[in-house]
Chain A
């Protein structure tokens, strides 16, 4: 059972480039989340979704966009990459609000 799958695992971007981080879950979860993890800073919520067609901003949404056209997929888009977006990005999902979250393996992004 795959759970939450993120691609790619690693990526190096040049300043100003764009990319999409992919996230897919096969558990039929309604709630999906994107977090970034900076060293010593814990996890910060970028965007989340409570179901297909519904997204909302988290704590640090600037520089990112998301869409949720299906229950399974929740891609994160970086339009103009900046060095401040160098981080490890995690996608997560939950079945019901307040229950445990399942995490992907992460995408390590470096912007140079």
Chain B
């Protein structure tokens, strides 16, 4: 079946530090992969996505590369800001094998000045 395993949090970083949040997946087909961000008191917003192997999604300085050989989609940012403090969710959706999204448990990030 399909599933997503995400790095446990919480993560606390100083401003301008490098961020990596690990995400690995299990899928029976060829899924699309997503990172969503949830700011306090808000719903989830799409941060970036990749639809096939070796694709790199990027947005707001965040990047993630779809690695089929390691079944991973790790989120990275070179220099985090206080405004990046949020909960980050890795997710997959496979149009060929199901109708739903599969989410990781979320990783809480706090960036301190």
A-side residues, CB < 8 A to B, are: 4, 31, 33, 35, 40-43, 45, 48, 50, 56, 58, 90, 92, 94, 96-106
Q: With contacts A42-B103, A42-B105, A50-B99 known, is A99 near B32, CB below 8 A?
A: yes
For chain B, give the interface size range: 20 to 34
Q: With contacts A42-B89, A42-B105, A98-B94 known, is A48 near B32, CB below 8 A?
A: no
Residues of chain B in range 67-113 having any CB-CB distance to chain A below 8 Å: 89, 91, 93-96, 98-101, 103-106
Which of A31, A90, A100, A105 has the most B CB atoms < 10 Å from its CB?
A100
- Chain A, residue nearest B8 (CB): A40
Which of B36, B93, B95, B104 has the most A CB atoms < 10 Å from its CB?
B93
17 contacts between A and B (CB under 8 A): A33-B100, A40-B106, A42-B104, A42-B105, A43-B89, A45-B100, A90-B43, A92-B101, A94-B93, A96-B95, A97-B98, A98-B51, A98-B94, A98-B95, A101-B34, A103-B45, A106-B42
**Distance, CA A90 to CA B94, complexed state (A):** 20
**Distance, CA A1 to CA B104, complexed state (A):** 29
- A48: chain B residues within 8 A (beta carbon): 99-100
Does B44 make an interface contact (CB < 8 A)?
Answer: yes
- A102: chain B residues within 8 A (beta carbon): 46
**Distance, CA A103 to CA B47, complexed state (A):** 12
Contact of B49 among A33, A42, A100, A103 (CB under 8 A): A100
Minimal beta-carbon separation of A90 from chain B (angstroms): 6
* Contacts beyond the supplied A99-B32, A99-B95, A100-B34: 15 A-B pairs with Cβ under 8 Å: A4-B43, A33-B100, A40-B105, A41-B105, A43-B44, A45-B100, A90-B44, A94-B93, A98-B94, A100-B46, A101-B34, A101-B91, A101-B93, A101-B101, A102-B46
**Can you list the 6 inter-chain pairs with the closest CB atoms, starting with the nearest?**
A98-B95, A42-B105, A103-B43, A97-B95, A103-B44, A43-B103
